[in-house]
Amino acid sequence: MVVSTNHQVNLRAVARALGALLLIGAATSAAYADIQVGQTLPPPPSVLYKDLFVAVQTGQIYPDQKTFVDATPNAEPAAILQLYEQQKNNPGFSLKNFVARWFTPPVDQVITPPPNQSLREHIDWLWPKLTRMSMSVPPNSSLIPMPKPYVVPGGRFREGYYWDTYFTMLGLQEAGREDLVDNMLDNFAYLIDTIGHIPNGNRTYYVSRSQPPFFSYMVELAAQKEGGRVYQKYLPQMRREHAYWMQGAGTLKPGDAVRNSVMLPDRTVLNRYWDASDTPRDESYLEDVNTAKLVPNRAPNEVYRDLRAAAESGWDFSSRWFGDNQTLASIRTTSIIPVDLNSLLFHLETTIARGCGEARDFGCVAEYIGRAAKRAYGINKYLWNKNGYYGDYDWQLGKPRDNVSAAALYPLFANAAWPERAHRTARTIEAQLLKPGGLATTTFNTTQQWDAPNGWAPLHWIAVEGLKRYGRAELAQPIGTRFLADVKNVYAKQQKLVEKYIVEGTGTGGGGGGEYPLQDGFGWTNGVTLKFLDLYGGGE
HEC secondary structure over 113-182: CCCCCCHHHHHHHHHHHCEECCCCCCCCCCECCCCCCEECCECCECCCEHHHHHHHHHHHHHCCCHHHHH
Residues 499, 527: contact at Cβ < 8 Å? no
Among 218, 220, 221, 169, which Cα is nearest to 189's?
218
Instruction: Spell out the residues 6+ positions from residue 505 whose beta carbon is closer than 8 angstroms to its own.
Output: 435, 436, 437, 453
Instruction: Spell out the residues 6+ positions from residue 144 whose beta carbon is closer than 8 angstroms to its own.
Output: 41, 134, 137, 159, 191, 195, 199, 202, 203, 204, 207
HEC secondary structure over 455-508: ECHHHHHHHHHHHHHCCCHHHHHHHHHHHHHHHHHHHHHHCCCECCEECCCCCC
Instruction: Spell out the residues 6+ positions from residue 431 whose beta carbon is closer than 8 angstroms to its own.
Output: none
> How many C-beta atoms surround the C-beta of residue 399 within 10 A?
11
β-bridge pairing 72-73 and 389-390: unpaired
User: In Å, how far from its chain's centre is CA 90?
Assistant: 45
Instruction: Spell out the residues 6+ positions from residue 539 whose beta carbon is closer than 8 angstroms to its own.
Output: none
3-state SS assignment for residue 513: coil
> How many C-beta atoms surround the C-beta of residue 337 within 10 A?
26
3-state SS assignment for residue 327: coil
Phi, psi of 71 (to 5 degrees): -75, 160
CA distance 412 to 423: 10
User: What end-to-end distance do the CA atoms of the chain give, in Å?
Assistant: 37
Phi, psi of 373 (to 5 degrees): -65, -40
Return the exposure string of 473-512: e unless at least 16 CB atoms fall within 10 Å of the residue's CB, then b. Answer: eebbebbbbbbbbbbbbbbeeebbbbbbbbbbeebbbbbe
Catalytic residues: 316, 499
Among 218, 184, 226, 216, which Cα is nearest to 201's?
184
CA distance 265 to 272: 16
Q: Write out the binding residues for substrate.
A: 156, 163-164, 200, 209-211, 314, 515
Residues 208, 198: contact at Cβ < 8 Å? no
- One-letter amino acid for residue 244 of the chain: Y
